[in-house]
Amino acid sequence: MALRLKLVPDVTTINFFRWQWLTFGASIVAMVLSIVVILFMGLNFGIDFRGGTTIRTEAAEPVDVGAYRQALAPLNLGDVVITEVFDPSFRPDQHVASVRLSVQDGAEATSPEVLNEVEAALKTVAPSITFPSVESVGPKVSGELIWSAVMAVMLASLGIGVYIWLRFEWQFAVGTILASLHDVLVTVGIFALFQIRFDLTTVAALLTILGYSVNDTVVVFDRLRENLRKYKTMPLRDVMNLSVNETLSRTVMTVLTTLLALVALLVFGGDVLRGFVAAITLGVILGTYSSVYMAKNLVLWTGVNREPKAKPKAGTKFADIDA
């Protein structure tokens, strides 16, 4: 007999609307507080957004990222990102790394004196090390990157809203967009509150959060649409509660298995991955919460047309297309 792990009973009757004003109100307060924290505390931008210098290093000795970082620590250079570069065309004795240094306050780029100090420090680890190329990114380019990151998140949210509108109805699109923006905004607010480094990998994590959140929400909405056809006289609130309960087992299993991998990366992934993984971990938790407590509340308050109509029975002409 196969052993099956059940974290949630097959049939649950949880009333997810029992504390709807408290849960929805807490979400709105969290969004407002996130905006306040972002405006007054600001984000701890990484090199991608603050500007800085990228140094390409070559050495005959193998690259030891930990030793490189330890050698540079006494210089107090601020945000330092070190990654090893791999290429099949490299010689056996050609070991390449990329060292990114954030600009110091009031400086356009890293000064030659600081570069000399960096080279001297790294030579204590790899005596043969050289700097084949040194490139700087100024504040103007960094500002353009910030604007591009904001536009990427906004356009992704808009595209998700259009997809949900075509697949379901506009009420579902409104609920999905607000729930997704809640996940992103609160995640960014937590990054600002704890001054966690915010760089382009974090933006990639935010876009991943949008995808995860909408996937979770669409699962609930799909079941809701099926139940609206099945229970034509049942009050909308009860149909929504039933739909969330029917998908609860899937939701719990999905979020827990995802968190198992994320927590492992968070603990063992090192400093380079920490911001990226922290953002996705927060987003997975918030995305599950918003799918259960935010998106459906907005659909309930805006209402859904349940009058019988010709095909398509629900949503638009795209409603019966498989995801």
236-248 pLDDT, tens digit per residue, is 888 888 888 888 8
Each residue of 25-49: b (16+ CB within 10 Å) or e?
eebeebbeebeebbeeeebbbbbbb
Q: What angle do CA 88, 53, 97 make, to 5 degrees?
A: 25
Tokens found for residue 308:
């019988």
CB 48, CB 142: distance < 8 Å: yes
Q: Are strands 44-45 and 197-198 parallel, antiparallel or unpaired?
A: parallel
- The class level of CATH for 52-137 reads alpha beta
Q: Mind listing the pLDDT tens digit for each residue in 217-234? A: 888 888 888 888 888 888
CA 90 vs. chain centroid, Å, equals 34
* 323 pLDDT above the threshold of 50: no
**∠ CA 193-195-198, rounded to 5°:** 115
Domain spans of the chain?
20-43+142-302, 52-137
- The confidence score (pLDDT) of residue 32 equals 94
What's the whole-number average pLDDT of the chain?
80
Does residue 157 surpass a pLDDT of 50? yes
206 neighbors 278 (Cβ within 8 angstroms): no
Percentage with pLDDT > 70 across the chain: 86
Strands (E), 86-144: 95-102, 130-137
Q: What is the mean pLDDT of residues 138-152?
A: 71
Residues 100 and 80 sit within 8 Å (Cβ to Cβ): yes
CA distances from 273 to 73, 245, 265, 315 (A): 19, 35, 8, 41
The rounded distance, in Å, linking the Cα atoms of 228 and 168 is 12
Identify the pLDDT of residue 1: 46
Model confidence pLDDT, tens digit, residues 174-215? 888 888 888 889 999 999 998 888 888 888 888 888 888 888
E-state strands within 103-223: 130-137, 197-198
pLDDT in tens, 256-295: 988 998 888 888 876 667 788 888 999 889 888 888 888 7
CB-count exposure of residue 151 (10 Å: 0-12, 13-18, 19+): exposed
Mean pLDDT of 44-65: 82
- What per-residue confidence (pLDDT) applies to 305? 64
φ/ψ (deg, to 5) at 28: -65, -45
> Distance between CA atoms of 98 and 285, rounded to whole angstroms?
34
CATH 1.20.1640.10 fits 20-43+142-302, yes or no: yes
CA torsion sign for 276, 277, 278, 282 is positive
